[in-house]
Chains A and B, each alone.
Chain A
Amino acid sequence: MIWGLEDVRVTFGRRAALDCVTVPVEPSRITVVVGGDGAGKSTCLRTLVGLLEPRSGIVRRPAKERTGYVPATAGLYTDLTVQENLDFCADAYRLAAAERGPRQTEILERTGLAAARHRLGGQLSGGMQRKLAVGLALLHSPDMLVLDEPTTGVDPVSRAELWRLISGAAARGTAVAVATTYVNEAARGSSVVLLEAGQVLASGSPDDILRGVPGAVGSARGRARPGTRSWRRGADWRVWAPDGGLPDGIARVRPDFEDAVVVAALAGEEKAGER
């Protein structure tokens, strides 16, 4: 692991917000931290960039000059124009005069915001604001890019564009850590950390996680809920059998990522119940 968290524990008062959490963040790769609200995703990323100090564990990160960060709340000044936002970031990261113009133009092109250059940040749509925020964090070509829920509340088209921007950064060698609540986005990462209540439920590549689903997952039709370890998927029900033995009439299916996440959460709950 080059950057990331290793066995990190973060506490708020007596409550452990992160417990023994390891998140690898490697160059040219995207690490997706996925989990529900309050799972500890933001705490994870804020610890990674140095906004929170862990109680124990190791945090490895590049120097501030080589880090780009977009918090969940903002990431840009709404009362500055797109160009003024770019200028501020260029100044803050002390971009060389010769580099500034070309970098800004490149970011405007990559974010598709060249036409909105002179519009106020606050006048941009939600999707455009998030694209600008990611673009600003990329302006100084950071070694590590940390994005806290960049796609939350954004329409599907803008989400696709944002992911293109993020993938492009990874392709250029940047180590990317992204937090998301959208399970289907986890499959876009080369490495996934599934968080729940401050603990890692599962981690690895999306394939690893799919292969690691314990027991069997089946699909059932009908209105009635087929059992306690089941959940809705469209018109069907999914059923999980930890011991691999699915009830009669339920066809075994290959779990997808959404199934894997739900199974990991159920397995986590059962493990906690046994203790």
Chain B
Amino acid sequence: MWAMVAKEFRELRRDRRTVAMMVVLPVVLLVVFGYAANFSVSNIPTVVTGPQAAQAAALLRAPFSVTEVDRGAGQATARSRLQDGRATVAVVTGGAGTTVLMDGSQLFPVLTAEGALAKLAAAHGGGRKAPPVRVRILYNPKLTTSWVMVPGLAGLILVFIGTLITSLGVVRERQTGTLEQLAVMPLRAWDVIAGKIAPYLMVAAVDLVLIILIGMGLFHVPFAGNVGTFALGAALFLLVTLGMGVLVSTLSQNQGQAIQLAFMIMLPQVLLSGLIFPVSSMAPGVRWISWILPLTYFIQISRGVMLKATPITALWQPLGLLTLLAVVVLGLAIIRFRRDLAPSARSVRADEPVAATRELA
């Protein structure tokens, strides 16, 4: 038995990535997710409008964080702030009483806001006759969990297909030796990458449509917004995930390594993208991680468009950041893949004797 144990340890010592996964990953995961996994919300962006906006704003305490007080604005402005995602709660004063509008696509912040509002009413409503406060939850009035989850899960499934399946496809080519043959064929690196990605892109697009349709059919998730905006966001997001797949493949020698790496990329997206835990309630030390994850932006876009009909003009930030991520990830993937495909294109150090290579047509 000792021979087996010694052999296994020797093998393990050479497989540094597995050792890292076994030792470092649990520690990192525990620390990061311990800080990220937080259902309680301490900061709810709130906008207050109407004639008594200033007085109402003065009454609001944490977790409400007043970001805008506008006496001249009415319910229309309040609604547009919620739709654009700039606020989760809007307090509209004036008229017959105060109306509190809440963004039902933000499940946990709304639940927290409801509780905080009840406490506030109890504290201030006792003495004199308080004006009536009406609470209206927009976009997801019954706070149905599936309405919030389906648009996010669609993204998660695309991460899975995009990153894992694409990387396996490319690594298989490397393992069987056909990648070497492709390198010798008169194909440009870009032709190979584009040709490799395009089928997965199409399958993933079909998958996405299927997931959304099933979500709408089975869970009655609404699709309130513009299909074009959603398609644009989805296309950018797919490009990022497929680019990550190619990148993973260039860092992996075999399918096992590719699966390990793909999971290391997928796991943080499940927990840190805002799919389950609200990004706003994560500790600042780990919150920045969610800002470099493509799923974070896709979720903003998909929930915004599907549930709130958020216009494209209000989504420029996630769309722009997804574009940036797509450029960076695909760029890196292409650079690394080119190195695999065309070693002769590698830069030669100045002090190296340059070998003469002649290609005769």
- Residues of A that sit less than 8 Å from B by CB: 2-3, 8, 46, 49-67, 69-78, 92-94
Decide yes or no: A71 and B181 within 8 Å by CB, A78-B176, A92-B186, A94-B186 being known contacts: yes
CA distance A58 to B181 in the complex (A): 22
CA distance A248 to B358 in the complex (A): 55
The answer to whether A64 and B176 touch across the interface, beta carbons within 8 angstroms, is: no
CA distance A7 to B209 in the complex (A): 59
CA distance A265 to B184 in the complex (A): 33
The answer to whether A49 and B176 touch across the interface, beta carbons within 8 angstroms, is: no
The answer to whether A67 and B176 touch across the interface, beta carbons within 8 angstroms, is: no
10 CB < 8 A contacts A-B:
A2-B360, A50-B183, A50-B343, A56-B355, A59-B356, A59-B358, A62-B359, A74-B177, A78-B176, A94-B186
CA distance A53 to B344 in the complex (A): 5
Once A and B bind, how many residue pairs between them come within 8 Å at the CB atom? Answer: 89
Main secondary structure of the interface of B (DSSP, over half): mixed
Number of contacting residues on B, CB 8 A? 25
Question: How far does the Cβ of A103 sit from chain B's closest Cβ, in whole Å?
Answer: 16
Decide yes or no: A55 and B186 within 8 Å by CB, A63-B360, A73-B177 being known contacts: no
Which of A46, A53, A59, A65 gathers the greatest number of chain B CB atoms within 10 Å?
A: A53
Question: How far does the Cβ of B359 sit from chain A's closest Cβ, in whole Å?
Answer: 5
Decide yes or no: A59 and B343 within 8 Å by CB, A67-B184, A69-B184, A92-B185 being known contacts: no
Interface residues of B in 175-208 (CB under 8 A from A): 176-178, 180-187
The answer to whether A92 and B183 touch across the interface, beta carbons within 8 angstroms, is: no
The answer to whether A56 and B353 touch across the interface, beta carbons within 8 angstroms, is: yes
Which residues of A sit under 8 angstroms from B361, Cβ to Cβ? 62-63, 66
Among candidates A2, A54, A63, residue contacting B186 with C-beta atoms closer than 8 Å: A63
Which residues of B sit under 8 angstroms from A62, Cβ to Cβ? 359-361
Which residues of A sit under 8 angstroms from B180, Cβ to Cβ? 46, 51, 71, 73
Which residues of A sit under 8 angstroms from B352, Cβ to Cβ? 55
The answer to whether B184 and A51 touch across the interface, beta carbons within 8 angstroms, is: yes
B357 beta carbon closer than 8 Å to chain A: yes
Identify the closest chain B residue to A7 (Cβ). B355
Among candidates B177, B182, B343, B358, residue contacting A58 with C-beta atoms closer than 8 Å: B358
Among candidates A2, A52, A60, A75, residue contacting B343 with C-beta atoms closer than 8 Å: A52
CA distance A63 to B357 in the complex (A): 11
The answer to whether B353 and A55 touch across the interface, beta carbons within 8 angstroms, is: yes
The answer to whether B359 and A93 touch across the interface, beta carbons within 8 angstroms, is: no
Decide yes or no: A92 and B184 within 8 Å by CB, A53-B346, A55-B353, A63-B361 being known contacts: no
Question: How far does the Cβ of A122 sit from chain B's closest Cβ, in whole Å?
Answer: 10
Which residues of B sit under 8 angstroms from A73, Cβ to Cβ? 176-177, 180
Q: Which 5 A-B pairs have the closest CB atoms?
A: A73-B177, A74-B177, A64-B186, A54-B355, A69-B184
